[in-house]
Amino acid sequence: MSENGSAPGGLALVEALVNTRGLESGKDTLNSAEGRAAFGIEEITERELAAVKELRESLRAVCLAHAGHPPHDVVTPLGRLLSRAPLLVTVDERDGSAGLAAAEEGPLLSRVAAAVAQALTDGTWLRLKACELPECHWAYYDRSPAGRRRWCSMSVCGARAKMRRYRAK
């Protein structure tokens, strides 16, 4: 539903993960192996799936916070989840630049943690937000110059919110 393309760099992974669940439709693509394949987690246990969903809702709450909204649900603090994700400091031999990467190949939690760390370096983290409308709360990347975008889509959720305000008058 994103109006202007997905989030930059590794944040696209975070955005895509948050948007595996449609709050209004009740659809959750993590429930199918095909949907999970997009994250390299098609073969996971029930318990691991529950952990991924927990991570997803913690990420959604943080995206909401970036837009100044309270959490949509009771969630585990994202920092607590990410503290279990080991990260490595990587150094480029050629130019000496350094960064953070997932400690092992695979675990989604580590890849998400690495994406968050990278977004901090890039200054993009606070721009990953969630739509204001309670039935939506879709993640989007705010590219507006002032950084005050409130909806995942102006034409859908923005129009809905305006209609509601109009009716309330």
Closest contact distance (angstroms) between CB of 25 and Zn ion is 12
Closest contact distance (angstroms) between CB of 130 and Zn ion is 8
Determine which residue in the list 11, 18, 136, 139 makes contact with Zn ion, applying CB under 5 A. 136
Contact call for residue 130 and Zn ion (CB under 5 A): no
Contact call for residue 138 and Zn ion (CB under 5 A): yes
Contact call for residue 59 and Zn ion (CB under 5 A): no
What is the SS3 assignment for 91? Answer: strand
What amino acid is encoded at 40 in this protein?
Answer: G
Q: Which residues in 114-149 are b (16+ Cβ under 10 Å) and which e?
A: bbbbbbeeeebbebbbbbbbeebbbbbbbeeeeeeb
Contact call for residue 141 and Zn ion (CB under 5 A): no
**Closer to Zn ion at the Cβ: 24 or 122?**
24
How far is residue 58's CA from residue 41's CA, in Å, rounded to a whole number? 19
Closest contact distance (angstroms) between CB of 58 and Zn ion is 19
